[in-house]
């Protein structure tokens, strides 16, 4: 968690710096604004405050888009109560795009197992007591053979 906080503080500091136009030696410098933060959030939310630093940063930066990759139990897409509370807490913000992590084991994982994980994430949108829906799937892979598989499922 501390690593995340350090990286995000650096990004937000850079964003604040980049939002300003500066003059240096009579030359006007206009910097580019950050467009989004990509956050692989593979940290288990042990309690209600586990992801509080992230939630605070999301709330404090409503114009900055956060793409958050969640991976309940890293290899298990069935969230427990702590996962549900933390994910629904982040899903309350319109600047968060939640992505579900599907492991491919360097593309050696059986396609049927990959599809089971994708189907589980799709089912998250039907959860009634909290908004744990994901808006996309994140594959950590080198090739594209899962692309067609995903298209056929959606």
- DSSP per residue over 90-116, as a string? HHTSTTEEEEEEE--TTTTS-HHHHHH
Q: Which three-class secondary structure state does DSSP give residue 31? A: coil
* pTM higher than the cut 0.85: no
Average the pLDDT over 23-42 and give the result: 66
As to burial, measured by CB atoms within 10 angstroms (0-12 exposed, 13-18 middle, 19+ buried), residue 37 is buried
Residue 136 belongs to what domain range?
Answer: 35-153
Instruction: Compute the average pLDDT of residues 91-105.
Output: 92
Residue 93 has pLDDT above 70, yes or no: yes
Provide the 8-state DSSP code for 32. Answer: P
The phi-psi region of residue 139 (left if phi > 0; otherwise alpha if psi is between -120 and 50; otherwise beta) is beta
pLDDT at residue number 42 = 85
> Is 59 among the domain residues?
yes
Q: How many domains does the chain have?
A: 1
pLDDT at residue 103, as a whole number: 84
Residue 112: inside a domain, yes or no? yes
- What band does 132 get if pLDDT is binned at 50, 70 and 90? very high
């Amino acid at each position: 968690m501390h690593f995340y906080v350090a990286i995000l503080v650096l990004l937000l500091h850079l964003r604040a710096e980049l939002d300003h136009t500066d003059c240096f030696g009579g030359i006007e410098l206009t910097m580019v604004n950050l467009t989004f933060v990509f956050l692989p959030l593979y940290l288990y939310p042990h309690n209600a405050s586990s992801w509080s630093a992230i939630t605070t940063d999301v709330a404090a930066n409503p114009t900055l888009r956060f793409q958050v990759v969640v991976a309940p139990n890293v290899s298990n897409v069935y969230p427990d109560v702590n996962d549900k509370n933390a994910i629904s807490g982040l899903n309350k913000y319109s600047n968060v795009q939640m992505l579900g992590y599907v492991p491919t084991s360097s593309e050696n994982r059986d396609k049927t197992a990959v599809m089971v994980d994708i189907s589980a994430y799709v089912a998250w949108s039907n959860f009634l007591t909290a908004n744990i829906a994901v808006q996309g799937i994140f594959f950590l892979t080198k090739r594209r053979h899962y692309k067609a598989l995903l298209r056929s499922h959606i």
